[in-house]
Amino acid sequence: MQNLEDLVNASLSGRLVRAKEISYRLGVSVPTIYHWEKSNDFPKRLRLGPNLVAWKGDDIQAWLDKLEVEGSSQQIEPLSQQSEKI
């Protein structure tokens, strides 16, 4: 099994990515990933089993590329910052 740092340095293309790796790459918590999925245009997860979900790496990369193109016009805040506004 590869460690998380090796996975983060690997390309997202053509593989499935778990929430822990996405959160590590983006510097946000796993609950933030699930929150983004519900409230933004973040890619939808695939259910692989009763307790196992993952995202298509290509979908995650396309989402990241879209954010880069849009620049700062669309800023997504981590869940912890959003709850402070309530």
Residue/partner pairs of 33-38 with CB below 8 Å, 24 or more apart:
35/79, 35/82, 36/76
Confidence of residue 74 (pLDDT cuts 50, 70, 90): low
pLDDT band at 75 (very low <50, low <70, confident <90, very high): low
Residue 38 in domain: yes
Q: Is 50 domain-assigned?
A: yes
Residue 43, in any domain of the structure = yes
The greatest distance separating any two alpha carbons of the chain, rounded to the nearest whole angstrom, comes to: 41
When the pLDDT of each residue in the chain is averaged and rounded to a whole number, the result is 84
Where does the pLDDT of residue 69 fall: very low under 50, low under 70, confident under 90, or very high at 90 and above? confident
Structural domain total, the chain:
1
Give the residue-averaged pLDDT of 58-82.
Answer: 75
Q: Between β-strands 46-49 and 52-56, what pairing exists: parallel, antiparallel or unpaired?
A: antiparallel
Q: Is residue 82 part of a domain?
A: no
| Model confidence pLDDT, tens digit, residues 9-44 | 788 999 999 999 999 999 999 999 999 999 878 999
As a residue count, the chain comes to 86
Q: Say how many C-beta atoms besides its own lie within 10 A of residue 62's C-beta.
A: 13
Segments forming the whole domain that contains residue 65? 4-72
12 in a structural domain: yes
- Structural domain contains residue 11: yes
CATH for 18: 1.10.238
The verdict on pTM exceeding 0.85 is no
The residue among 24 and 76 whose pLDDT is bigger is 24
Say if 68 falls within a structural domain.
Answer: yes
- Within a domain: residue 81? no
14-33 burial: b if 16+ Cβ within 10 Å, else e: eebbbbebbbebeebeeebb
d(CA 38, CA 43): 9
The stretch 73-85 carries a mean pLDDT of 58
